[in-house]
Structures are given as C-alpha cells and as structure tokens.
Structure 1
Amino acid sequence: MTGNLTRLKVASLGAVAVALAACGGEPLGPIPYGNSPTPPLQLLGGYRSPEDPCQLTGETPLTIDYLDDAADLVGCPTGSEAEASLRATHGVEKLAQIGGSSLYSIPRR
C-alpha cells in the first residue's frame, strides 16, 4: 500500500511540474490603467481651481513615498500646458511619472 501511495505522490508532483513548465514564457507586463483593479492615482480635485487639470493627489501604494505633511502632492497630465504652468509658477521638479500623470510636491507656505 505504501508503494502505491509513493507512486501517486511522485506522479502528482510530475503533473504539477509539467503544468508549471507550460506556464513559462514572457513575464506579464504592468496592468494597464483601464484594467487595473484600482486606479494608480487618487485624484481629489483641481489644485488651483475646480477646473484645473493638475489635481491634488491622495495616498495610494504608488504615491505613499512622495507624500509629505508639509506639502501638497499634485498630479498633472504629462506634457500639458497645465503642467508647464504649475512648474513655472511653483519652481518645482517632477518627482515621478505614473501613468499619464507627472507628480509634484508643492510646499505649503
């Protein structure tokens, strides 16, 4: 009986190994925003006005390292006029780019 059980275990392990080998190939890339279970940025509303494309950005796993209790984290559409205006007005450098948004930390004065 023990021999049959051992052969069953070996056969099961072999089947698992074959199944795992079949899963090989190219690694999965990043999940596109449209299919992501949660959006990459939590946008909380216009930064300089309600219609401002640059928006106050909240905490997510992707932004947590950029948050500062003495500054606002702002996300602007990358390459937009709103982004250029924000940079010129506040003299800030881009912290990161996540999806189509560039992140900036703007000190509260």
Structure 2
Amino acid sequence: MKPLLPLIALGLLTACETKTVYSPPATDLPLFGDGYRADGDQCRRVGESAATVEYLDHTADLVACPEDYEGLGVFMTETGGTEVARIDGWVLFSVSREG
C-alpha cells in the first residue's frame, strides 16, 4: 500500500485546476491604469513618448491592447476605436472622447 500513496497524491495534485494569469507583452510604451473601460481589462491607456507622440490627440484616448487579445474586434466595435499603430506586440487605438 505504501508505494501507491505517492501515486495517489500525484494523481490528486494533477487533477487540481490551475489558474492561468495573463501576462502582457513587455514594452517600453508608457502604459498606465489597471485596464481601459474597467479594472482588469487587458487594454491600457498610453501616455506620451517618442513612439506615441504622433498618435496622441487631445480629443481622444490612446489605448493599447495586446495583439493576441481575442476581444480586439469587440473592443473596436464597442469603443469606436481606430487602429493607428502596432508597437512591441501591442495594437494602438485612438478612441474618441467626443461620444
């Protein structure tokens, strides 16, 4: 019976559900906030830098979403965002603040 105990314990451990934590692509983009539209969203607002200065507009938010984000189409539809660039694995959108 003793040799079976480690196998049973191993089986129980492998049956446990593991939670995957999203890790955004590394970037030098000046991302800020804890999500665009709601805390925890994968998209983030982007600040001013040499890479983003030409995409900034005082009437719109500059927002970056990971390129592999499955909700890109929904994001564009819901926000009316226009893709302006792709940098370091992020898609940059200009999202109008003028309803």
1:63 is aligned to 2:63: no
Shift of 1:104: 0.3
Question: What's the counterpart of residue 44 of structure 1?
Answer: 32
SS for the counterpart of 2:45 is strand
Determine the C-alpha separation between the residues in 2 that align with 1:42 and 1:71. 16
Shift of 1:60: 1.0
Q: Higher relative CO (CA 8 A, sep ≥ 6), structure 1 or 2?
A: 2
SS for the counterpart of 1:94 is strand
Q: Mind listing any 5+ residue stretches in structure 2 that lack a counterpart?
A: 1-24
Q: Is this contact kept in 1: 2:82–2:95, CA < 8 A?
A: no
Equivalent position amino acid for 2:57 in 1: D
1:81 is aligned to 2:70: yes
Higher helix share: 1
Identity %: 38
Alpha-carbon displacement from aligned partner over 1:39-64 (angstroms, at most 9, x marks no partner): 42111121111101010111111000
Shift of 1:82: 3.2
Shift of 1:90: 2.3
Question: What's the counterpart of residue 106 of structure 1?
Answer: 95
Shifted more, 40-49 versus 67-76: the winner is 40-49
The count of residues paired between Structure 1 and Structure 2 equals: 73
Structure possessing the higher radius of gyration over alpha carbons = 1
Q: State the TM-score, normalized to the length of structure 1.
A: 0.60
Determine the C-alpha separation between the residues in 2 that align with 1:85 and 1:44. 21
Q: Of 85, 88, 92, which aligns to 2:81?
A: 92
